[in-house]
Amino acid sequence: MLAFALTLSLAAAPPSSPDALALVRRYDAVMSPANFEAQTKMVATREDGTTRTYKMKTQKSGKDKLRAQFLEPASAKGQEMLRNGENLWLWMPNLKRAVRVASRDSFMGGDFNNADVLRVNYEADYQPSIETGDPAGDVLVLKAKAQSAAYDAIKLWMTRDKDPQPIKAEFYAASGKILRKAEFFDVKDFGGGLVRPSRIKMTNEISAGRSSEMSWEAITLKDEIPAQRFVLDDLGR
Residue 220 interacts with another protein (CB under 8 A)?
no
User: Backbone dihedral region of 134: left (phi > 0), alpha (psi from -120 to 50 degrees) or beta?
Assistant: beta
Q: How many residues form the binding site for another protein (CB under 8 A)?
A: 44
Residue 237 interacts with another protein (CB under 8 A)?
yes
175-180 long-range contacts, Cβ below 8 Å, gap at least 24?
Answer: 178/205, 179/151, 179/204, 179/205, 179/206, 180/111, 180/204, 180/205
What is the separation, in whole angstroms, between the first and last Cα of the chain? 67
Considering only residues 32, 84, 203, 215, which one is a binding residue for another protein as defined by CB under 8 A?
84
C-alpha–C-alpha distance, residues 102 and 88, integer Å: 7
Nearest distance in Å: CB 54, another protein: 9
Residue 223 interacts with another protein (CB under 8 A)?
no
Q: How many Cα atoms occupy the beta-carbon half-sphere of 143 within 13 Å?
A: 5
What Rg, from alpha-carbon coordinates, does the chain have? Answer: 18
Q: Scanning residues 95 to 134, which ones bind another protein (CB under 8 A)?
A: 95-97, 99-106, 109, 113
Residue 230 interacts with another protein (CB under 8 A)?
yes
Residue 77 interacts with another protein (CB under 8 A)?
yes
Q: Is 230 helix (H, G, I), strand (E, B) or coil?
A: helix
Quick one: 133 or 236, whose CB is closer to another protein? Answer: 236
Q: Is 229 helix (H, G, I), strand (E, B) or coil?
A: helix
Nearest distance in Å: CB 2, another protein: 46
Nearest distance in Å: CB 227, another protein: 5
Nearest distance in Å: CB 205, another protein: 14
Quick one: 41 or 104, whose CB is closer to another protein? Answer: 104
8 Å CB contact between 74 and 55: no
Per CB under 8 A, residues contacting another protein are: 46-48, 50, 52-53, 73-75, 77-78, 84-88, 92-97, 99-106, 109, 113, 147-148, 226-228, 230-234, 236-237
